[in-house]
Structure 1
Amino acid sequence: MKIFYAIQATGNGHISRAIQLHPYLQKFGDVDFFLSGNNATLPVDLPVKFKSKGCSLLYSKCGGLDYTAIAKNIKPIQMYKDAKALPLKHYDVIINDFDSITALACKLQKVDSVQFGHQASFISNQTPRPSKKSFLGETIFKHYAPSTKHIGLHFESYDSFIHPPIIKEEIINATPKDMQHITVYLPSFDKDCLEKAFKKLPDVAFHWFLSEITEKYISGNITYFPVNQKYFNESLISCHGIITGGGFETPSEALYLNKKVLSIPILNHYEQLCNAAALEKMGVQVIYEVGNEFELIVEKWLNATSNNPTIKANDIKKTLQYLFDTYPKRK
């Protein structure tokens, strides 16, 4: 069996999921990966056969999206050419983790696909949303990467086709411990946006992962790390809690480990606002703006006594078997 897997590389979560799935997929057939987008920092240790600049999300300085940079990065003519050039008819199964070029290629070449991943869960109206829905956000969920079939991943099973998150083996096999530090991963924030606030909490040790850092170093109560999978796994497994965005993969791993989570969704990022709504329902603290007294919010969060919610990990073998068993048969 020949398998085509499209990765949306606008962030690290999609890549991390694909790396975890790869050995399981290999048991079903030969896998070729398509990397679409250019805003990830993780090394891609996968057999990537096709690449495109695609469409990536780019961030402003302190917690928002840079819409001007995003618009400049979109090359519709090239994206159309890339879609037309993908040889999808040579593949038996096409798995799309929310990539618009692959979806367009499927439409042009009249082949089926399955949208597999977190965004697929938002096809269901039962998946949590913020109190104020976004017409644009809902349109993107439904029409950005349309597929014949959907298999969603989310914190909880809000609908029959939604499964638990893919958790890395290193996390599943770990023995969590509490070394009292706070792990920080906020890729939409530059260093100088939050550094003063963290320095105002000298008794709290922070492990801060930043894309601009190339070598680990310590300054006062902050240990700065490059975005590195090994370092991050070790820090998360041994942390007291984590401050992160409103993404999916990192909160999922933290909740699986029963860690304390403070979520700061990216401003005006509808998917992250939806995730934040789900996290709040589970009892996780969410803040939507970082003001001048951010350190007080962090301190209050640290001192709050609450039961950390836990989630299950995906049974990858079972989920993939379901995917291949129910994949649309070619006519």
Structure 2
Amino acid sequence: MRILFLVQGEGRGHLTQALSFAQLAESAGHEVIGALVGVTQDRPTPAFFSEQFPAPLTPLPSPGLVYHTQTNALQPSKTAWKALLNARAYRRSIRQIRDVIESRKPDVVINFYELLGGLTYGFYRPSVPMICIAHQYLAFHPRFPFPAGQLIDRALFKLTSRLTAWGAEEMLALSFDQQPDVPGRRLRVVPPLLRREVAELNPTTGDFFLAYTTQPGLVTELIKTHQQHPEIPMRIFHSGAQLAEERIDETLTYHAINGQRFLDAMQQCRAVVTTAGFESVCEAFYLGKPVLMIPQPNHFEQACNALDGQRAGVGVSANTFDLNPLLTFMPQYTTETSEQFRAWYGRGYYLFLAALNRAVQSKTSKSRQRPGALSTAGSQS
């Protein structure tokens, strides 16, 4: 089976999930023929993805989120305005996606929450089936927890998610734990996609807390947290760090973001402090590390992630980088919770391959039902 990827390049999560799915697909004997990656002028394709992805990459101008430079709060109005200003470039990207699908002729397209992928299928209706994969699709599950109020944010979040999956055969919702499928909404609940390197780690329990953020401004908040608890060693991986390891004081160390070094630190740490991105939280959960999840201001999706992670027993949700809720939670955290998550993750291989087979079978079934196919069948009988 020949598989083409569409990947949203915002943050690390969707890119990492695409890498994991590529590993899974190739291990099952399928061929990954390429990936179209949504990028912005200040957000090119990260090196960790371009160096590890097993097929050619094509960057595409795509909408990106806009954050306040000082508060790091997501700015929805500026995000929408920036998208409108670049609408012409995005139309070209949509046509390029259509042309690549028509010329490369994959058997299936896997879309990792790239909005332009959904719009391509909405406007041009390619004949190749598309499967959409993201944690965000749990928003269509009746059991998914939303923050109280914020009805407009909830509606916009669900609208965006629907547009990314416009014309999809199925939405595969990545979940911390098993939930029933919702066939009427084309929704199937599946385990997270983790990098093979995570599953190969042997976690131990060290004395330090590990912190991670891609927003440089949040480092100021982490420093305040460190000053409140100077007795707790803390290692901070952030995008503003330039050195592999920079000792700030006796218990604080900065690290430039590096995938392997971050995983090495995660398998040894005592707990994890991070924003509520789905991927990092899942990696910590797999390794049995309790997590303090702090959604970025105005980031409704991360607020949902934090609530869902807290429900599943990953850790605690908080609005600030205050370690006290995490310190209170840690004695309650048990290895049994992590073991259940590992068992759920172990089912993913078969569930994802089954989704690929369903998509191809659906395409075959539809081609047989076309008038031309029926008349041909009749002439042969």
Matched, 1:140 2:160: yes
Matches within 5 A, 1:1-331: 1-26=1-26, 27-38=29-40, 39=43, 41=46, 43-44=48-49, 45=51, 46=53, 47-60=55-68, 61-67=70-76, 70-71=79-80, 73-74=82-83, 75-86=86-97, 87-89=100-102, 90-111=105-126, 112-132=129-149, 133=151, 134-146=154-166, 147-160=168-181, 161-188=188-215, 190=217, 191-215=219-243, 216-220=245-249, 221-283=251-313, 284-288=315-319, 290=320, 294=321, 297-304=322-329, 305-308=331-334, 309-310=337-338, 311-312=341-342, 313-327=345-359, 328-330=362-364, 331=367
State percent identity of aligned pairs.
19
Give ranges in structure 2 of 5+ residues lacking alignment: 182-187, 368-381
CA distance in 1, matches of 2:164, 2:32: 27
Calculate the TM-score normalised by the size of structure 1.
Answer: 0.90
- 2-side partners of 1:63 and 1:314: how far apart? 36
Deviates more, 1:13-22 or 1:120-129: 120-129
Larger radius of gyration: 2
* SS of equivalent residue, structure 1 residue 196: helix
Name the CA shift for 1:298/1:175 in 2 (closer, same or farther; >3 Å): same
Task: Report Cα offsets for 1:94-132 as digits up to 9, x if no partner.
Answer: 110111111122233312311122223333233332233
Distance 1:42 1:251 in 2: 22
Q: Give the superposition deviation at 1:306.
A: 1.2
Q: Is the Cα–Cα contact under 8 Å of residues 119 and 164 in structure 2 kept in the other structure? A: no
CA-based RMSD of the aligned residues comes to 2.1
Deviates more, 1:62-71 or 1:17-26: 62-71
Count of aligned pairs between the two proteins:
325
Q: Tell whether the 8 Å contact from 2:176 to 2:191 is kept in structure 1 after alignment.
A: yes
Whether the 8 Å contact between 1:10 and 1:55 is mirrored in structure 2 is no
1:127 aligns to what SS in structure 2?
coil
Q: 1:129 to 1:22 in 2, by over 3 A?
A: same
The residue type paired with residue 138 of structure 1 is K
Distance in 1 of aligned mates of 2:24 and 2:199: 16
1:184, 1:244 within 8 Å by CA — same for their partners in 2?
A: yes
- 1:214 maps to a residue whose letter is Q
In 1, Cα distance between equivalents of 2:39 and 2:3: 20
Q: Deviations over 1:221-277 (max 9, x none)?
A: 211011110111011111100011111111111111111110101222222121122
* Equivalent position amino acid for 1:306 in 2: Q
Give 3-state SS (helix, strand or coil) of 2:332's partner.
coil
Structure 1: give runs of 5+ residues left out of the alignment.
none
Task: State the secondary structure of the residue aligned to 1:224.
Answer: strand
Deviation string 1:40-85 (CA, Å, 9 cap, x unpaired) is: 6552222343211201223333442144653464211111111112
CA distance in 1, matches of 2:198, 2:65: 27
Q: Which moved more, 1:143-152 or 1:91-100?
A: 143-152
Call closer, same or farther: CA 1:158–1:261 in 2, change over 3 Å.
same
CA contact (8 A) 1:64 1:188 kept: no
- Tell me, yes or no, if the aligned pair for 2:25 and 2:353 is still in contact at 8 Å: no
Q: Which secondary structure state, in structure 1, belongs to the residue aligned with residue 262 of structure 2? A: helix
CA distance in 1, matches of 2:118, 2:325: 45
Q: 2:328, 2:137 → 1: CA distance?
A: 36
| TM-aligned CA distance change 1:113 to 1:323, over 3 Å | same
Runs of 4+ in 1 over 4 A off after TM superposition: none
CA separation in 2, counterparts of 1:42 and 1:122? 31
CA distance in structure 2 between the partners assigned to 1:279 and 1:127 by the alignment: 11
Contact 2:216 2:240 in 1 (8 A): no
Conserved? CA contact 1:96–1:116, under 8 Å: yes
C-alpha contact (below 8 Å) 1:59/1:188 kept by paired residues: no
Cα distance, 1:279–1:205 mapped onto 2, change above 3 Å: same
Change (3 A) 1:250 1:204: same
Q: Which has the higher helix share?
A: 2
Q: Give CA-to-partner distance per residue, 1:203-238, whole Å, 9 cap, x none.
A: 111110110112121111211011110111011111
Q: What secondary structure does 1:52 align onto?
A: strand
Moved more, 64-73 or 157-166: 64-73
The verdict on how the C-alpha distance between 1:72 and 1:213 changes in structure 2, with shifts beyond 3 A counting, is: farther
TM-aligned CA deviation for residue 201 of structure 1: 1.9
